[in-house]
Amino acid sequence: MKKFDGFPARTEYTALPNVFFSGLLPQIDDLAELKTTLHVLAMLSRKKGYPRYVSRQELLANESLMAGLKTKDESSESTLQKSLEKAVSRGTLLSIAVEKDGTSEDIFFLNTTSNRQLIEQVESGELELTGLKKSGKKYVPPDEVPDIFTLYEENIGILTPMIADELSEAEKLYPAEWINDAVKEAVLYNKRNIKYILKILENWAAEGKNDGTHQRHPKKTDPDKYIKGKYGHMVRR
């Protein structure tokens, strides 16, 4: 067995739901399924946009995963397929087949309420998923700050389709740093909702963010300044 060299001084982390350890991990008795599940969770956490899903082709291109699934008796591709089937049967993942360029592409979602509703919309024809890409590129986990959807989920609350749409629009209108800072300010004053965040961004766009007061004296900022004025009634406290 090759000895692990240890973790570097500066390393990236992947967040896992608490229920993974308390409810799911005790049930998984297959090592290949566990490896596949962990890789899917890691890949989903680094996805941008909404909805988030991982295709079978992306998993096949993940060299780290495929190397870990390889055995003497079975190919890594066959092991991956069986592991995905187990994860879907267990209820960890949701799977649908989508047509792309005349061929069928299997894509996988984390089993959440919003994703179950999304798949129902896809299967009924109400929603069409776009942006599926097939390529032979290797999967390389990027070193980057969390996207706005991850930022919201980790600091504010559940990401619903409606909130995802509002964040997508905000991403088009404001710099990423503004959104990051607006989330931080919402957390600082315990005003954890999307309308408060959007009101902060609107205020900065109208009055200027770099006015000195916000940067030098953030603790003296009035937390209620964003719920006053013409549109204050729109912000839930």
Token digits of residue 123? 């299967």
- The residue assigned the tokens 């990401």 is 159
CA-CA distance, 186 to 147, in Å (whole number)?
17
What distance in Å separates the CA atoms of residue 72 and residue 58, rounded to the nearest whole number? 23
pLDDT band, residue 125 (cuts 50/70/90): confident
The predicted pLDDT at position 130 comes to 64
Tens of pLDDT, residues 129-145:
765 433 344 444 544 45
Token pair 């309420």: residue: 113
Which domains occur in the chain, in start order? 27-124 (1.10.10.10), 148-234 (1.10.10)
Q: What is the pTM of this model?
A: 0.57
In eight-state DSSP terms, residue 23 is I
The four Cα atoms 188, 193, 195, 197 give a dihedral, to 10 degrees, of: 30
Supply the pLDDT for residue 41: 95
| pLDDT beyond 50 at 65 | yes
The identity of residue 193, as a single letter, is N
Residue 15 pLDDT level (bands cut at 50, 70, 90):
confident
Question: For residue 6, how far is the Cα from the chain centroid?
Answer: 27
Among 134, 69, 123, which Cα is nearest to 96's? 123
CA nearest to 93, candidates 123, 54, 151, 122 = 54
Query: What pLDDT was estimated at residue 107?
Result: 93
pLDDT reported for residue 211? 47
